[in-house]
């Protein structure tokens, strides 16, 4: 039998994607006999490093790596995140939260929100937010871990993620990766050697003249896609028409305002502004459409809307919504920004790195590089991007805003097919279906469709099996239980102090 097991994996790039890949592959495959893993990064080129908000799947990634959560939170200046608050998206003055976790309690085999729709039809004005422990807790600055051991408590189904300093996260992962045997080389790659026959990448050459050879190359080189585009010419699926924001300006500021465990997204005239509170500072940025706003105007708007004093010069970033036509070609697999980018509205980029790693590990190749596995990887990757795209477009499309050319463009946009079907189904009957394991659950779709002002004309007929009085009574009780449970959760700041985080004012001003 021919031994065609991989012997050398080369990871190109040491941003969040590169070090996530290095830590995970080191942990899972690092002990395979004869396998070496090497990461190349250039200090001179640097990283994007603004990815600060995550979604709950990261808890699984960290757990897989054996990370001690309290240590991780201390070392990355992390805070907890229970959802995203959307301000001024539906109309100016309106706000709602997209929470992790669930709303209320399903009854009679029917999702909770049908009972909520029934109650609304009966004149009960209680907002959907009141039935989410994540939302009510977060709005009071409170945080608690899920308690699956208490199945009757809403705490059993709360979900959480983190907000952290991305550069510190990469540094933290680097320690883990190096401990599992990953070698790091610093240097700028200036050329790529390819096999004349099959076009596979055989080595990358550094400015120093050194050459790093490999069997499998993981391209984590950021937007430039050094290998996947530069060498393999993948091509790019461009979704700018649906997601017109193509720039961001970012700046951290000192802590000010509240530190609720939420990422905040405030709609502005040509995009939206993020606010991500960490332990020691707030991360801010304005994501905007360059067709509708100049860089100077964006920076001025951002600086005029900070909760604290800026801690650096505003930094401009350019991007294009979409993904590589093929994320895996030959012996090159792209992860992170090298593979694609969908704006950070729902904090999905770090997750896409994570799911790309999971897919790669499931289809871990030999040097024969089975084309069927490659095609599977590419199909699933493209589908994941597409599903997320539709969810992002929903936020822009379902708006009442007509106060700028940007919002008029978004509101008038013809939605992609999948989104159009979901909108039609929700409008007519309040029903939501999650397609083929897509990332965002029914809860997420409900939250944003309802939050963006879409009013279903009906609800599930089974909800009428409860009498009007019974339905109203049960909903009132659920809201009370949520309220009481939220009030018993610790304040996030107290919790962070309890696990050893330094929240003293001196550090916060630094």
- Per CB under 6 A, residues contacting ligand FAD are 13-18, 40-42, 45-54, 166, 188-189, 220-222, 224, 226, 248, 250, 285, 317, 319, 336-338, 344, 347, 349-350
Q: Is 409 exposed, middle or buried (0-12, 13-18, 19+ CB in 10 A)?
A: middle
Query: Token digits for 311?
Result: 């801690």
| 42-56 b/e (C-beta count within 10 Å ≥ 16 → b) | beeeebbbbbbbbbb
Cβ neighbours for 55, distance < 8 A, ≥ 6 positions apart: 100, 161, 346, 347, 348, 351
Give the other-Cβ count within 10 Å of 376's Cβ. Answer: 15
- In angstroms, the Cα distances linking 499 to 77, 79, 263, 452 are 12, 12, 22, 37
Bridge partners of residue 258, in order along the sequence? none
Q: How far is the CB of 228 from ligand FAD (least distance, A)?
A: 11
Q: How far is the CB of 42 from ligand FAD (least distance, A)?
A: 4
Catalytic site includes residue 157: no
Provide the 8-state DSSP code for 218.
E
Q: How far is the CB of 289 from ligand FAD (least distance, A)?
A: 13
Q: How far is the CB of 129 from ligand FAD (least distance, A)?
A: 22
Q: How far is the CB of 157 from ligand FAD (least distance, A)?
A: 23
Q: How far is the CB of 189 from ligand FAD (least distance, A)?
A: 4
- The span from the CA of 364 to the CA of 6, in Å, is 9
Cβ distance to ligand FAD smaller for residue 107 or 177: 177
Q: How far is the CB of 59 from ligand FAD (least distance, A)?
A: 14
- The span from the CA of 492 to the CA of 143, in Å, is 5
Separation of first and last alpha carbons in the chain: 61
Q: How far is the CB of 146 from ligand FAD (least distance, A)?
A: 21
Given 27, 81, 118, 175, which residue is catalytic? Answer: 81
DSSP letters of 338-380? GTEE--GGG--HHHHHHHHHHHHHHT---TT--HHHHHHHHHH
Query: Token digits for 43?
Result: 């200090």
- The span from the CA of 385 to the CA of 334, in Å, is 14
- The span from the CA of 164 to the CA of 75, in Å, is 9
Cβ distance to ligand FAD smaller for residue 16 or 90: 16
Contact by Cβ (8 Å): 293, 271: yes
Longest CA–CA span in the chain (Å) reads 78
Contact by Cβ (8 Å): 30, 181: yes
Give the other-Cβ count within 10 Å of 371's Cβ. Answer: 9
Bridge partners of residue 90, in order along the sequence? none
Cβ distance to ligand FAD smaller for residue 57 or 366: 57
Cβ distance to ligand FAD smaller for residue 89 or 116: 89
Catalytic residues: 81
């Amino acid at each position: 039998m021919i031994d065609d097991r991989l012997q050398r994996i080369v990871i190109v790039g040491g941003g969040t994607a590169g070090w996530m890949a290095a830590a995970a592959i080191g942990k899972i495959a690092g002990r395979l006999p004869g396998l070496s893993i090497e990461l190349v990064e250039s200090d001179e080129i640097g990283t994007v490093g603004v990815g600060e908000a995550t979604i709950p799947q990261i808890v699984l990634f960290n757990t897989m790596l054996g990370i001690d959560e309290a240590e991780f939170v201390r070392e990355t200046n992390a805070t907890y995140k229970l959802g995203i608050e959307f301000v001024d998206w539906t109309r100016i003055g309106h706000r709602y939260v997209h929470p992790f976790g669930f709303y209320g309690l399903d009854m009679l085999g029917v999702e909770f929100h049908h009972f909520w729709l029934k109650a609304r039809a009966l004149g009960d004005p209680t907002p959907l937010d009141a039935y989410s422990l994540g939302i009510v807790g977060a709005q009071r600055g409170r945080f608690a871990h899920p308690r699956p051991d208490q199945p009757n408590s809403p705490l059993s189904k709360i979900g959480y993620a983190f907000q952290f300093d991305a550069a510190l996260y990469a540094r933290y992962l680097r320690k883990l990766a190096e401990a599992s045997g990953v070698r790091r080389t610093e240097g700028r790659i200036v050329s790529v050697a390819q096999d004349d026959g099959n076009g596979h990448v055989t080595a990358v050459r550094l400015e120093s003249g050194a050459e790093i050879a490999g069997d499998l190359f993981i391209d984590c080189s950021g937007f430039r896609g050094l290998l996947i585009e530069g060498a393999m010419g993948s091509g790019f699926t461009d979704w700018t028409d649906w997601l017109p924001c193509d720039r961001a300006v970012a700046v951290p500021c000192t802590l000010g305002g509240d530190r609720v465990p939420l990422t905040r997204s405030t709609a502005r005239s040509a995009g939206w502004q993020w606010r991500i509170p960490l332990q020691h500072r707030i991360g801010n940025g304005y994501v905007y459409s360059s067709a509708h706003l100049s860089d100077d105007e964006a920076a001025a708007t951002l600086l005029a809307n900070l909760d604290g004093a800026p801690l650096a010069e505003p930094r401009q970033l350019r991007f294009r919504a979409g993904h590589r036509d093929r994320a895996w070609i030959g012996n090159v697999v792209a992860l992170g920004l090298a593979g694609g980018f969908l704006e950070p509205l729902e904090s999905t980029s770090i997750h896409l790195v994570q799911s790309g790693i999971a897919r790669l590990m499931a289809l871990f190749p030999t040097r024969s590089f089975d084309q069927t596995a490659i095609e599977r990887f590419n199909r699933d990757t493209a589908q994941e991007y597409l599903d997320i795209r539709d969810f992002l477009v929903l936020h822009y499309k379902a708006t009442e805003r007509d106060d700028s050319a940007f919002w008029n463009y978004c509101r008038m946009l013809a939605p992609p097919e999948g989104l159009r079907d979901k909108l039609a189904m929700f409008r007519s009957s309040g029903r939501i279906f999650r397609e083929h394991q897509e990332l965002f659950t029914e809860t997420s779709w409900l939250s944003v469709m309802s939050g963006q002002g879409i009013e279903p004309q009906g609800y599930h007929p089974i909800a009428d099996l409860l009498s009007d009085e019974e339905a109203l009574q049960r909903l009132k009780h659920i809201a009370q239980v949520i309220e009481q449970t939220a009030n018993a959760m610790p304040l996030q700041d107290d919790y962070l102090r309890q696990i050893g985080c330094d929240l003293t004012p001196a550090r916060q001003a630094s």
